[in-house]
Structure 1
Amino acid sequence: MKQILPTTGSVLSMAVVSSLSAGAMAAEGGFIEDTTATLQARNYYFSRDFSDIVGANRQSKAEEWAQGFILNVKSGYTQGPVGFGVDVIGLLGLKLDSSPDRVNTGLLPVQDDGRAANDYSRLEGALKVRYSKTELKVGELQPNVPVLVFSDIRLLPPSYQGASISSNEINGLTLQGGHLKSTSLRNEAGDEKMQAMLGHVPQRQVSSDGFNFAGADYAFNEKRTSVSAWVGQLEDIYNQRFLGLKHSQPLGNWTLGANLGYYDSREDGKKLLGNIDNQAFFSLLSAKRGGHTFYLGYQGMFGDSAFPRVFANISPLGNEVPTYEFAYTDERSWQARYDYDFAALGVPGLTSTVRYITGSNVDTGLGFEGKDRERDLDLGYVLQSGSLKGLGIRVRNVMARSNYRSDIDENRLILSYTWTLL
C-alpha cells in the first residue's frame, strides 16, 4: 500500500530534530563522541527510451527529474557490558519534472491517477544492542549481503523492517543473520510485503511477509582472500544458497583479482510461483596497473528458471549491469570492462568506466534463442577543492539491445553532496 506524505518542508525539519534527539540520547549514555550524522543531497535525472517494445507495457519513454535528501544518524552506545543505541534514517524525495506518459523511472511514486507524486518521505529508526563484538538491530534496516544486496541505484535507497544480528568475535570471520517482514521500496514511502523477480520480470501476482538470511564471510591471507557461504529464503516463493570466493594478488606492478560465485535456487514452501530451478555461476577477473583496471567476466544460468531475487534489488552477479541483468533462463554472457582513474595523470577525483556485455542461449519459451547486449559508459568527478569541494557529478550512457525484450537507450545525470552534521 502506497503512502505519500505531502508535508515536504516539515519532513526535513523533523529529520534534523530527530538527529539531534538521537545525539542527545547518546550523550546521556556518555557516547556523544561516537554519534555520527550525515545529510546527503542527491539530484537525479533519469531518461530511458524504449524501442521495439516487447511486452504489455507500451510506454515508449520513462523520463523524470527529482531531488532527494538522505539523512543517516548513528548514535554511540550507552556504557556497560551491554550497550544500547539508535540509528535514524530520514528520506525525502521531491518531483522536479515528470508527466503521466514518462513515469515509472523508479525515482518517484506513481499515484492512482497515473501521475508522479509531488513528494514522498519516510522517517524511521532502529534500536541496536551491542555486546562485545556482536550487534543486534531491530527496526528499519538496510542489509547488504549476497542474497539481499543493498540496491541504492535511484534517488533514494530502499529499506526493510525486521531484525538482524552480526558478530565479529573471531578475527577475520563475520557472521550475520536476520528476519525481514516488509520493505519500503526505493520510490515508496510506505511498507509493503516483498515480491520476487525472475530474471528481469517482476512477479507482482504473489508476495511474502518473510525474508530470512544467514551467512558467513571469512577473510584471511592478510585479507587478500575471502570466502563466503550464505542462504536466503523468501518464504513460500524461493530459497537460495550462495558460495563465493574473492582474491587479490600483487604481481610486480600489477594487482590481479578474482571474484567467483555460485547460486543454487529452488522453490520454497507453498511454491507461490510454482517450481523454481536455477543455478547461476559467475566469474569476474581483473588486472590493475596504475590508473588502469581491466576486467573479463563470464556468467552462466543453468536449470529451468531465470535467476530469482527480491524485487527490485540488484545482485552481485558478475554481469549484472545498470539496465540488463543477463540472468534469464539458460543465458550465457561475457563481459569486457575497462576502468581508468585519472589520478594517475594528476587529475584526482575523475574516473571512467566503459563496459560491453553480450548474452546468448536464452530460453525465451517462444521457439527461438534469445540474445542481448549492452554497452555502458560512466564518467564521474568529485570536486577536490573550493567552496563546492566534495560535490560529486556522475554521467551514465547506456545502449542495450535484445531480440526478446525491449531495446533501451538510457541516460543518467546524478549530482550528490554530503554534509557531515555530527
Structure 2
Amino acid sequence: MKNAVSRLLPSALTLAVIAALPTGAQAAGFVEDAKVSLNLRNYYFNRNYLNGTDPLIQGERQGQAEGWTQSFILDARSGFTQGTVGFGLDLLGLYSVKLDGNRGAANSQLLPIHDDGQAADDFGRTAVAAKAKLSKTELKVGEWFAVLPILRADDGRSLPQTFQGAQLTSNELDGLTLYGGQFWKNSQRHDASREEMSFGGIEGDDFNFAGGEYRFNANNTLLGVWHARLEDVYQQSYVQLTHSQPVGDWVLGANLGYFDGKDEGAAKAGKLDNKVYQGALTAKTGNNSFMLAYQHLDGDSKFLRIDGTSGGTLVNDGFTNSYDAPEERSWQIRHDYNFAGLGIPGLTLMNRYVSGSNIHTGGRTDAEEWGRESELAYTIQEGSLKNLSVRWRNSDVRRDVGQDIHENRLIINYPLSLL
C-alpha cells in the first residue's frame, strides 16, 4: 500500500520549490540555466501480417496495422535556485493528433484505442517534476521520462512513456553515481492515463529500485549493479560491465550483462524464474561499426520488465522484437555506416540480423524466430531546418509460433530550441 509520505512528497516539494523562487539573485540560476525545446514529431507506421498470422480485432481479421500522427513534445527544464539547497522544476507537455488511422490502427500503438476499436483523434498529458539539489546530490519527485537499466521508458511511437515517482541521484564521489527511488504510476506511450505499475497485465504495488555505476580507466570502463522490486510481483538484479579500448585505428568494445529475476512477496503473477546472460562485442574504424551479440535466457519465465517499457537493456532488443521468450537463445550481427566518409555528413545506414532458437512457447520447446531490420537516417546539418531528421525503418520478423510481420516506419523529428 502506498503510504502517506509517498502521496504527500510531490505536493510538498512542489510547494517548497514555489516558495524558494523569489525575485533577484537567488532565482538567477533557476532562469539562466533553464532550457526549453519543442520537438515536432511526425510518425507514420505500417505493419503487414503475413502467412495468416494476423490478429482478431473486434471479431475481424486485421491484415495490417497502420497509423499516422503529428506530435508536439515540449521539454522545459529549469536550472536550480542559488543557495545551499537549490530548487527547480521540469515539465513535459505531450500532445499527439491523428492524421490517419481508425480500426486498422489498433496494433500500431500510436494512439489510444476506444472500446469500439476506433483510434482516438488525439491524446496527451502533462508531466511535472520538482527537483532539489544539495552539493552533487539531486532529489526529483513527480513525473518524467525515466531511463534506467532496470526501468527504461519507451520512446518508440508518437509520445514517450513516463513514470510518476521519486528518485535520488548522487555523484558525491568521483566516478561513482548512486541511484535510489520508487515509482508509483506508469503512463505508457499510447495512453494518456496513469496506471498502476504492472507485469504481464498483473498489477503490483510500488516499483522500488537502487543501483550504482562506477566509471574508471579514464571513463573507458563501467561497472553497474542494480536491484529492483515490483512489490508482490517480481524482483530482479542486474550486473553490467562495459569497456571501450582504442587499438590503433580501431575502437573495440564489450558490453556484458547478467539478470536474475524471480517472484516477490504475494507473487500475484505466479512463480517467476528468469535469468539472462548476454554479451555484445563491437568494433569501430573510420565510418564503419560492427557488432556481434549473444543473448541467453534461462528459466520458465520471459524477461521481467514493467509493462510498456523498452527492452533496450537487452543486447538483442530491436524495433520489433526483444528475443526475450522463455529459454530463448539468440545471436545478432549488425553493421552501421556513416556516409560522412563519402562526403554526405548526416546520412547513416544500419542493418542487423537476429536469429532466435530453443524458444519454449505455445506447447513447443524448439520454436525459432528471426528478424531483419534496417534504418536509413538523415539529419540536416545547417540552414533554417538544421537538426531536422528523417528516419526510414524497414523490418521483417518470421516465427514458428506467433505473428509474421513486414513493417515500415517513417519518422520525422524537428527539434526547436526555444530557450
Instruction: Give TM-score, length-normalised by structure 1.
Output: 0.90
Question: Out of 259, 262, 265, which is 1:266 matched to?
Answer: 262
SS, match of residue 172 in structure 2: coil
Q: Distance in 2 between matches of 1:98 and 1:348?
A: 35
Secondary structure at 1:157 match in 2: coil
SS of 2:382's partner is coil
Structure 1: which 5+ runs fail to align? Answer: 1-21, 197-202
Task: Select the residue among 240, 243, 251 that pairs with 2:239.
Answer: 243
2:92/2:144 contact within 8 Å kept? no
SS at match of 1:308: coil
Partner residue in 2 for 1:131: 134
Deviation at 1:317, TM superposition (A): 0.6
Equivalent-residue separation in structure 1 for 2:237 and 2:314 (angstroms)? 13
- Counterpart in 1 of 2:35? 36
Task: Decide which of 152, 161, 164 is 2:164's aligned counterpart.
Answer: 161
Other-structure match for 1:255: 251
Is the CA contact (8 Å cut-off) linking 2:54 and 2:64 kept in structure 1? no
Unaligned runs of 5+ in 2: 1-17
Residue 332 of structure 1: which of 313, 323, 329 is its match?
329
1:151-186 per-position Cα deviation (integer Å, ceiling 9, x unaligned): 211111010111111000001111111101111111
1:81 to 80, 84, 94: 84
How much has 1:56 moved relative to structure 2? 6.2
Could you tell me how far apart the structure 2 residues matched to 1:321 and 1:26 are?
A: 47
Partner of residue 118 from structure 2, selected from 99, 115, 120: 115
Q: Does 1:218 align with 2:214?
A: yes
User: Partners of 1:258 and 1:246 in 2: how far apart?
Assistant: 5
CA deviations on 1:48-82 (whole Å, 9 max, x unpaired) are: 11123177664321100001011111111111100
Q: Does 1:355 align with 2:352?
A: yes
What is the deviation of 1:373? 0.1
User: Is the 8 Å Cα contact of residues 127 and 144 (structure 2) preserved in structure 1?
Assistant: no
What is the TM-score when the length of structure 2 is the normalising length?
0.91
1:371 aligns with 2:368: yes
Q: Which amino acid aligns with 2:367?
A: G
Q: Which amino acid aligns with 1:194?
A: M
Alignment of 1:420 with 2:417, yes or no, is yes
Q: What is the CA–CA distance in structure 1 between the aligned matches of 2:23 and 2:286, rounded to whole Å?
A: 45
Find the aligned partners of 1:178 and 1:388 in 2 and give their Cα distance: 40
Cα distance in 2 for partners of 1:108, 1:283 equals 35
Aligned with 2:110: secondary structure? coil
Q: Which residue matches 2:70?
A: 67
Counterpart-to-counterpart distance in 2, 1:420 and 1:391: 12
Alignment equivalent of 2:377, drawn from 376, 380, 400: 380
Q: Please say if residues 211 and 233 of structure 1, whose CA atoms lie closer than 8 Å, have aligned partners that are also in contact.
A: yes
The alpha carbon displacement at 1:25 in A equals 5.2
In 2, Cα distance between equivalents of 1:160 and 1:89: 12
Counterpart-to-counterpart distance in 1, 2:153 and 2:323: 19
C-alpha contact 1:255 1:289 (8 A) present in aligned 2: yes
Counterparts of 1:274 and 1:163, CA distance in 2: 28
Shift of 1:368: 4.7
In structure 1, give the amino acid aligned to 2:47.
R
Aligned length: 394
| Amino acid in structure 1 at the alignment position of 2:53 | I
The answer for the alignment partner of 1:234 in structure 2 is: 230
Shift of residue 387 of structure 1? Answer: 2.4
* SS of equivalent residue, structure 1 residue 318: coil
Gap change, CA 1:55 and 1:268, over 3 Å in 2? farther
Pairwise CA distance, 1:101: 3.0
Q: 2:193 aligns with which of 190, 194, 201?
A: 190
CA deviations 1:3-61 (Å, max 9, x no partner) are xxxxxxxxxxxxxxxxxxx9x95975112210110000000001111123177664321
- 1:91 maps to 94
Secondary structure in 1 aligned to 2:274?
strand
| Equivalent in the alignment of 1:105 | 108
Matched residue type, 1:45: Y
Question: Structure 1 stretch 88-97 or stretch 138-147: which is displaced more?
Answer: 138-147
Distance (whole Å) between structure 1 residues aligned to residue 93 and residue 285 of structure 2:
40
Comparing 219-228 with 57-66, greater Cα deviation is found at 57-66
Contact map agreement 2:357 2:367 (CA 8 A) in 1:
yes
2:306 alignment partner, one of 302, 306, 310: 310
Identity of aligned residues (%): 45
CA contact (8 A) 2:43 2:410 kept: yes
The alpha-carbon deviation at position 141 of structure 1 amounts to 2.3
Mapped contact 2:175–2:215 kept (Cα < 8 A): yes
Larger mean Cα displacement after TM superposition, 105-114 or 37-46? 105-114
Structure-2 change in CA distance of 1:350 and 1:154 (3 Å): same
CA RMSD of aligned residues (A): 1.7
Q: Counterpart amino acid of 1:40?
A: N
The offset of 1:122, in angstroms, is 1.1
Are 2:348 and 1:345 equivalent residues in the alignment? no
CA–CA distance in 2 between the matches of 1:102 and 1:338?
A: 32
Q: Following the alignment from structure 1 to structure 2, what is the Cα–Cα distance between the partners of residues 211 and 221? A: 33
Aligned partner (choices 270, 286, 292) of residue 288 of structure 2:
292
Shift in Å at residue 367 of structure 1?
3.6
Displacement of 1:409? 0.6
| Correspondence for 1:172 among 158, 175, 197 | 175
